[in-house]
Amino acid sequence: MCGLVGFVDKNKNKKEIIKKMSDKIAHRGPDSDGFFVDKNIALGFRRLSIIDLKSGDQPIYTEDGNMVIVFNGEIYNYKEIRNDLIRLGYNFKTTSDTEVVLIGYQEYGVKILDKLRGMFAFTIYNIEKEEVFVARDHFGIKPMYYATMNDCFMWGSEIKSFLEHDLFEKELNLKMLNHYLTFQYSPGSETFFKNVYKLLPGHYFIYKDGELKVNRYFEIEFKPDNSKDLEYFEKRIEEELEDSIEAHKISDVEVGSFLSSGVDSSYIATRSKVDKTFTVGYEEKKYSEIPYAEDLSKKIGVENISKTISKEEFFENFAKIQYHMDEPLADPSAVALYFVAKEASKHVKVALSGEGADEIFGGYKMYQEPLFFPLYNKLPHPVKKNIGKLAKKLPAVRGLNMLVRRGQTLEERYVGNAYIFDAEEKRNVLSEDLRDYNYQDLTKPYYEKVKNMDDVVKMQYMDYHFWLVGDILLKADKMSMANSLEVRVPFLDKKVIEMGTTIPTKYKVNKKTTKIAFRKVANRLLDDVVANKDKLGFPVPLREWLKNKEQYDIIKKEFVSANKFFNVSYILKLLNDHFEEKVDNSRKIWTIYSFLVWYKQYF
């Protein structure tokens, strides 16, 4: 796991600039750095040594010296690809996966991407052709950003490194604030920095002679196979996960595992047979997963190392956490992830984690929603829409939100696992000139691709392209790298995903439970109580904390001076109503506060 940065311009002091840019992301790779600079380009690299500790330093060159690579990530099938290339007559100077990617590109060109199994973001520069090739992994586990400014093209693992280039112009992209208030993160390819873009998962770009061409090389396809029974899929899940976990343990350093109280991390920790598990919790017992993690770790004979987070630590570290995110993220579990990564980094360099299982195996409770009230669902849409409008005007009581949601089509109401402010609320929250961006401009093209699938698959598809990439994987990478720790995600393996997309909806969710097929597999390894446990997902006592005077005052201080972006009287009402226990506004408050804290870090 590492970090990289690069740029193409006519600057004469490239060495000085690339060193500053690289130093800005030193947390991604504190073990060593490396550079390639010529008259056209500068590449910088920070290394966290995991595989081939002695000879794996980067950049790495082809035998003829015409191509150079800087690489972030891990390739789990690199030995097989390496053997194929040796049979074709290639020689290797190292035993690293990085050199395999480079030589593979030399032989196969962009088709090397189809052969890779792993997580990655890398740059290969063809010195003779003066051509830059940059690729991001299939699922977006590793980040990659790029920008064109003032005759300079730059790219890298984190936006913050761009700020060190003297041609970079820092300007807030206000359009993203509107989308952020809906999603609680920055969705799509644009970022909060104007003219800075994300290279989306499964994409690569080629930059040559001042021209940028972005192409897609991978796209997930759901193809449910209704000809197979439940037992068939149980067997396939078990086989593919066993193979993936073993592949994800490949390392020349010790590997540990994150452990919450959920079935995903419990399965990985148990199946992987690591030596240490890592858990965080809170002083508020009902939110703490530590007792469960200690109990499971004892049962499977591994050491559990835990950290209890106080509300003071939570708030004191939040600005630092938003800085490391590069863009604002309002998911409070990111703080828990920061602390568990920090604790793990004291003991290991690599930790396994359970991200991705819910999106593929159907783990979110929201996926059960289309299965309930089938008779109500058959009502004409205009009728449901009017009922929904009426329900929205009534005082909040249990069940009314269902009527509000069912008053909209799935395409209107479902943007992913989080939906914070709707269009009407955003008109109240935002100041006058910061409105009128429709989130459906982002989601509609994705819904179009699965228009013939059932609603559960549509929701999975949306979460795969939005929630998973914009929230789950973003915080996994940024919070682990902030602590110089590599996090690996065995559920997000190419073979596991290919198999998972063939599971019919009836083996994923029903009215009683989620992840039906996977829980059956987990039952054979874990106690029934564990395998059938509801998902918590790093629970945080934020709802209670925001009712404390101390935390209320911290947030109120930020809100009263936020008139540049927000309707202050309205957001203060959100805060006060929550503080006075009239309504739970915790997620809305936290979304606004997170942006304001992030904005202070960068602007």
Catalytic residues: 2
Neighbours of 10 (CB within 10 A): 10
The answer for residues whose C-beta is within 8 angstroms of residue 403's C-beta and 6 or more apart is 387, 388, 391
The two beta strands, 303-309 and 276-282, are parallel
**CA-based nearest residue to 262, from 347, 361, 329, 185:** 361
Alpha helix locations (H) across 40-96? Answer: 78-87
The two beta strands, 32-37 and 41-47, are antiparallel
**CA-based nearest residue to 531, from 368, 332, 344, 361:** 361
**CA-based nearest residue to 503, from 441, 438, 454:** 454
Q: Do 50 and 74 form a contact (C-beta atoms < 8 A)?
A: yes
Q: Which residue has 């890779």 as its token pair?
A: 116
Tokens matching residue 495: 């073979």
Give, for 6, the enclosing helix (H) or strand (E): strand 2-8
Give, for 272, the enclosing helix (H) or strand (E): helix 263-272
Q: How far apart are CA 54 and CA 549, in angstroms?
A: 54
Q: How far apart are CA 479 and CA 462, in angstroms?
A: 24
Largest alpha-carbon pair distance within the chain? 73
**CA-based nearest residue to 154, from 171, 166, 172:** 166
Give CA separation, 531 vs 290, 294, 296, 497, 527, in Å.
17, 16, 12, 21, 6
Give CA separation, 43 vs 40, 122, 500, in Å.
10, 11, 38
Q: How far apart are CA 431 and CA 566, in angstroms?
A: 5
Q: Is 556 exposed, middle or buried (0-12, 13-18, 19+ CB in 10 A)?
A: middle
In one-letter notation, the amino acid at residue 447 is: Y
Q: To the nearest 10°, the Cα dihedral for 463, 466, 469, 474?
A: -110
Q: Is 335 exposed, middle or buried (0-12, 13-18, 19+ CB in 10 A)?
A: buried
Q: How far is CA 26 from the centre of its chain?
A: 21
- Rounded to 5 degrees, φ, ψ at 494 are -55, -40
**CA-based nearest residue to 234, from 453, 464, 500:** 500
